[in-house]
Amino acid sequence: MKIPLMKEILKTNDQVASENRAMFDSERIFSLNLMASPGAGKTSLILATVERIPRDIKAGVIEGDVASSLDAQIIASRGIPVVQINTGGGCHLDAPMVRSALSKLPLKEINLLFVENVGNLVCPAYFPLGTHLNVVIASVPEGQDKPYKYPDIFTAADVVILNKIDLLPLVDFDTEHFKRGIFMVNPEAPIFPLSCKTGQGFEEWVKWLLTKLRSAFL
């Protein structure tokens, strides 16, 4: 098996990402690429967000995992249309995988699509999927140094979620240091501290998301 130039891979990815975006726009589907470390709360964010959006906004999910369909099962059990992508050993989703998954979703019934990337703070940064927003989720127990150690993914973010703030009183986490780290690489990205467990902080996040969704298809 011959592996083509890395540049070619990225060029092909970006080309397909543009095609994905064109499809999202023509179908009027607002789409999010959720990127995070393993266990930061990607699936929890999807579920807790869907619970809080108006009923006329219909969600769909593309689930990316190295293996298993555990998260897809949880999402399907809530009545949300979902397609599972298993990457085998692959450490990130790419735009062609998303294109292929789109053909298996009831696109006409979806207004808001969550694409849950593989849990990884490195490689997903380099493979845009064509979504409207790149959402990076960090979580309190991971520590406040993540933007300094994994700058590229925070640079690629349109918005940053800080999850598990219910644990703030229990672990050492310097929120200001975390925010400064993001500001250094990405001064534009809003940051939403919240807890998928308690619901704290969701009002601001959902309000912001709905504003973005509504302004996308004016």
Binding residues vs its own copies (CB under 8 A):
1-7, 37-40, 65-68, 70-71, 89-91, 118-123, 125-126, 139, 141-143, 145-146, 148-152, 164, 167, 170-171
Q: How far is the CB of 161 from its own copies (least distance, A)?
A: 15
Q: Torsion over CA of 46, 161, 191 and 162, rounded to 10 degrees?
A: 140
Q: Which CB sits closer to its own copies, 24 or 173? A: 173
> Could you report how far apart the first and last alpha carbons of the chain are, in Å?
47
Beta-bridge partners for 113: 31, 60
Q: How far is the CB of 152 from its own copies (least distance, A)?
A: 6
Burial of 84 (0-12, 13-18, 19+ CB in 10 A): buried
DSSP state of 94: -
Q: Which CB sits closer to its own copies, 10 or 53? A: 10
Q: Which CB sits closer to its own copies, 40 or 110? A: 40
Q: Which CB sits closer to its own copies, 49 or 120? A: 120
